[in-house]
């Protein structure tokens, strides 16, 4: 195994060197596209053109990262669901593909062609399957139940992310401020460090964070040139799936690219909703100063708006009816992660009303206060998530994550949004580093992650802007 992994590392390095040596202008599809050297843990990529061109550029420029990112997603998906990768490829082809519009079919196909041109053997069904990574647990749960199988405990919608958006009297300048940290397994989170600057032939220019090979952000933080600022947090314990619906990753990408208003964003996200990756979406329109919360269940959907207030997300269902009908979430247990973090968000908003700005948003992302214990204690109950440090151990409740926590952070205010700019911090915003070897030694039950788990260091906040 060590020899195989070492060989893969050599190939990945060789791929990067090969890319550096090639002349990108040799293929007209790569004109004007580029990637920058890594900066504080992030890789900036500029893509532009038709859907097919954007896809090809993405696949070619990030081929080594996509190859490794695919291996990680495939490992997680097969481990957590007891299904083989062929199962997901088939679902991508027969269930998802018929409901993907041509624009994004062309882009997904282009990614597959780009990685192949760079020597990576992945086809379009692999690319579609990794794009749906956040949706598979929803589908597999329904599939197993329909086939008389008890789904594994790891097939569940877990806690993913802490976020807020505020405006009006709650912010220092009266304009929107938005921030988000991505909670996921460290295995994939260590690689969720792309900054995509995309200038499509149609729709809006946008900048977003992302994972190599995915056409959407997936943890969903981005800003478009119509002034729409977008993020979300997952609804914990959600169940629901419509095989005839449109994949969430397609709707999320379409909304990022084509929404010019909060109304348009909500319309795109609701149209063809398949229930996959059910989220509380937090949105701001920098032009009007309005903010919104779109809670998108499969049966229950609600849109709340404000020009003077805030919305927060920490993986709790907002609507009691949705919680009752579509989740197994206990809204009364203040010791669970989603509720404890919700309490903390309300505390921070109240304590800092009228003072919330970019610097404060960044500080919130590194917060370690446990509202249940009423003291600083980094864990699954704090905004800066450290599931691996939980004093409650590594029991069944944690299995959907593997070794997990807040893996990266983003924040922006209205002035930055106007310039297609945001700040980002890879790793924990609090500054704590994660060391893989020590944790695997302490928790051998996660040995299955060892081939790809690596250290996750905390980096400084860094500003990124779309290239003009």
445 band by pLDDT with thresholds 50, 70 and 90? confident
Average pLDDT over residues 45-59: 98
Domain boundaries, the chain: 1-468
Closest CA to 203 of 32, 416, 418, 48: 48
- Note the pLDDT of residue 24: 47
Q: Is 86 helix (H, G, I), strand (E, B) or coil?
A: helix
Give mean pLDDT, residues 347-359: 98
The reported pTM is 0.93
Mean pLDDT of 417-433: 98
- Over the stretch 97-111, which tens digit does the pLDDT of each residue have? 999 999 999 999 999
Count of alpha carbons within 13 angstroms of residue 201, beta-carbon side: 11
Angle value at C-alpha 303, between 380 and 298, nearest 5 degrees: 70
Q: Which positions ≥6 away from 271 have C-beta within 8 Å? A: 246, 251
- Looking at the predicted structure, is the pLDDT value of residue 201 above 60? yes
Class of domain 1-468: alpha beta
Reported confidence tier of residue 10, pLDDT bands at 50, 70, 90: very low
Provide mean pLDDT across the span 405-422: 97
**Mean pLDDT of the chain, nearest integer:** 92
Q: Phi/psi at 148 (nearest 5 deg)?
A: 70, 25
Residue-level pLDDT at 393: 62
Q: What is the pLDDT of residue 352?
A: 98
> pLDDT tier at 388 (50, 70, 90 boundaries)?
confident
- pLDDT tier at 26, thresholds 50, 70, 90: confident
Residue from 342, 447, 450, 357 nearest 411 by CA: 357
Per-residue pLDDT for 2 more than 90?
no
Reply yes or no on whether the pLDDT at 297 is more than 50.
yes
The string of DSSP codes covering 143-158 is HHHHTT-PPPTT-S--
Give the pLDDT band (50/70/90) at residue 154: confident
Between 396 and 333, where is the model more confident? 333
Bin 410: left if φ > 0, else alpha if -120 < ψ < 50, else beta: beta
**Residue 443: per-residue pLDDT:** 85
Torsion angle of the four alpha carbons 152, 316, 73, 385, in this order, in degrees rounded to the nearest 10: -110
Q: What angle separates helix 262-270 from helix 248-258, to the nearest 10 degrees?
A: 160
What would the two tokens of residue 88 be? 């997901």
Tens-digit pLDDT profile for residues 207-237: 999 999 999 999 999 999 999 999 999 999 9
Q: What average pLDDT does range 335-359 have in this prediction? A: 97
Provide the pLDDT for residue 159. 74
- Only one residue has tokens 């420029």, namely 61
* pLDDT exceeds 60 at position 302: yes
Calculate ∠ Cα 166-171-174, nearest 5°: 100
Handedness of CA 465, 187, 366, 252 (dihedral sign): positive
How many Å apart are CA 416 and CA 314, to the nearest integer?
24
Beta bridge partners of 197: 46, 207
Give 392-412 pLDDT, tens digit per residue: 865 444 444 467 899 999 999
**Residue whose C-alpha is closest to residue 189's, from 157, 155, 156, 160:** 160
Q: What integer is the mean pLDDT of 183-195?
A: 95
For residue 177, with 0-12 CB atoms within 10 Å meaning exposed, 13-18 middle and 19 or more buried, which class applies?
A: buried
- State the Cα–Cα distance between residues 456 and 312, nearest whole angstrom: 27
In the chain, how long is the greatest CA-to-CA distance? Answer: 61
DSSP 308: S
pLDDT of the residue at 223: 98
Contact status, residue 306 vs residue 249, Cβ threshold 8 Å: no
Query: Which of 84-98, 175-189, 381-395, 427-441 is predicted with the least confidence, judged by mean pLDDT?
Result: 381-395
The token pair that represents 68 in the structure block:
């490794």
Inform me whether the pLDDT recorded for 3 exceeds 50. Answer: no
Q: How far apart are CA 224 and CA 294, in angstroms?
A: 18
pLDDT for position 404? 86
Q: Specify whether the CB–CB gap between 241 and 142 falls below 8 A.
A: yes
Average pLDDT over residues 243-256: 98
**Angstrom distances, CA of residue 8 to CA of 4, 15, 86, 191, 218:** 6, 10, 22, 16, 26
What is the distance between the alpha carbons of residues 219 and 204, in angstroms, rounded to a whole number?
20
Q: What is the pLDDT of residue 277?
A: 95
SS3 of residue 441 by DSSP = helix
């Amino acid at each position: 195994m060590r020899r195989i992994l070492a060989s893969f590392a050599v190939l990945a390095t060789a791929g990067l060197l090969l890319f550096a040596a090639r002349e990108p202008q040799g293929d007209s599809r790569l004109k004007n596209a580029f990637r920058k050297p890594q900066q504080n843990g992030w890789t900036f990529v500029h893509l532009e053109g038709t859907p097919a061109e954007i896809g090809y550029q993405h696949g070619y420029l990030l081929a080594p990262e996509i190859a490794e990112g695919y291996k990680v997603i495939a490992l997680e998906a097969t481990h957590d669901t007891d299904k083989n990768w062929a199962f997901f490829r088939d679902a991508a082809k027969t269930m998802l593909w018929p409901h993907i519009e041509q624009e994004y079919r062309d882009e997904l196909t282009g990614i597959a062609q780009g990685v192949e041109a760079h020597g990576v053997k992945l086809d379009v069904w692999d690319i579609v399957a990794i794009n749906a990574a956040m949706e598979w647990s929803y589908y597999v749960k329904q599939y197993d139940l329909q086939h008389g199988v008890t789904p594994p405990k790891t097939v569940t919608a877990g806690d993913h992310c802490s976020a807020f958006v505020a405006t009006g009297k709650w912010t220092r300048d009266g304009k929107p401020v938005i921030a988000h940290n991505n909670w996921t397994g460290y295995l994939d989170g260590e690689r969720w460090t792309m900054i995509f600057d995309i200038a499509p032939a149609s729709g809006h220019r946008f900048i977003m964070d992302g994972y190599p090979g995915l056409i959407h952000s997936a943890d969903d933080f981005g800003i478009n040139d119509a002034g729409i600022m977008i993020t979300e947090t997952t609804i914990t314990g959600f169940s629901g799936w419509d095989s005839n619906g449109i994949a969430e990753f397609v709707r999320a990408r379409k909304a990022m690219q084509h929404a010019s208003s909060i109304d348009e964003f909500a319309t795109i996200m609701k149209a063809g909703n398949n229930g996959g990756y059910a989220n509380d979406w937090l949105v701001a329109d920098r032009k009007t100063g309005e903010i919104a919360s779109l809670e998108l269940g499969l049966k229950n959907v609600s849109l709340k708006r404000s020009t003077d207030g805030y919305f927060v997300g920490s993986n709790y269902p907002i609507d009691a009816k949705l919680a009752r009908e579509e989740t197994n979430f206990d809204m009364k247990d203040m010791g669970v992660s989603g509720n404890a973090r919700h309490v903390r968000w309300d505390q921070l908003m109240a304590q800092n009303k009228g003072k919330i700005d970019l610097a404060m948003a960044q500080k919130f992302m590194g917060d370690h206060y446990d509202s249940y214990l009423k003291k600083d204690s980094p864990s699954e109950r704090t905004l800066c998530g450290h599931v691996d440090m939980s004093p409650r151990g590594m029991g069944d409740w944690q299995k959907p994550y593997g070794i997990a926590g807040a893996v990266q952070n983003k924040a922006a205010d209205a002035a930055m949004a106007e310039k297609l700019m945001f700040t980002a911090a890879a790793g924990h915003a609090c500054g704590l580093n994660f060391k893989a070897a020590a944790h695997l030694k302490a928790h051998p039950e996660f040995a299955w992650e060892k081939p790809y788990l690596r250290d996750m260091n905390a980096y400084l906040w860094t500003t990124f802007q779309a290239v003009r």
